[in-house]
Amino acid sequence: MQNAKDTFYLTLQSRLAVLNPARTIVVRGVVRPGTLVEENELPSAWVPIDAFCLQWTELQVNSAEPLPLVVMECSIQYATDGTSGNGGMDRGRLLAAMDAELTAAIGAEPHAVAKMNYSAAKASGAPMAMGTNVFWADPVFGATTAVDKRLARTTTVQVFAYQEAGEL
């Protein structure tokens, strides 16, 4: 399951970075594409804005198949305050831009990539391709929420993968 989560995140991150290279965040002093997985970062009360924050929420495992089918829900949270120089009046447009980037990144073909094992990358420097794919459904966009002037949305994506023998 972890390999599927890692593969989906890095695929989504690279697609979003191609669509909008200017969307970046600074994490521990280093500029990165504006996508992160909350459970992989240091716990913090800081809420990133103008970036995509992934959380892995629901999980189902169908063991009836020869290879168990894992269905995971990826919850993608993003928010914007608008541009301060514009008095925040463009916050609706900025949220719409993030909606469009996410739609294009998730909707782009193919809807599947080869599952990679990134744990091997720590030792050897390169991830190891596995025998099955990770694939995903279309995104489901939640309602826009407004807290003060901040606009936020949570979008969910169903991610599927086969659990290979011996895989964690």
Partner 1 sequence: MSDLVSATGTAARAADVLLRAMGGRTVMLRMPAPAVPADATEQLGIATPTFHDIPLGPVVYRKARATVDNGKAAKWELLVSASAVESLVGSLTYASASVLFAEAHGVLSDDELLEIESATQEQVFGQPYVYRLGLRAPLAQVV
The residues that touch partner 1, with contacts defined as CB under 8 A, are: 6, 9-10, 13, 27-30, 32, 36-37, 39-46, 118-119, 121-122, 127
> For residues 136 and 124, what is the distance between their CA atoms, to the nearest angstrom?
29
Min CB(24)–partner 1 separation in Å: 12
Residue 41 or 138 with smaller CB distance to partner 1: 41
Min CB(131)–partner 1 separation in Å: 20
Residue 97 or 120 with smaller CB distance to partner 1: 120
Q: Which residues of 115-137 are buried (b: 16+ CB within 10 A; e: fewer)?
A: bbbbeeeeeeeebeebebbbbbe
Residue 14 or 75 with smaller CB distance to partner 1: 14
Residues ≥6 apart with Cβ < 8 Å to 157: 73, 74, 76, 106, 136, 137, 138, 139, 140
Min CB(50)–partner 1 separation in Å: 15
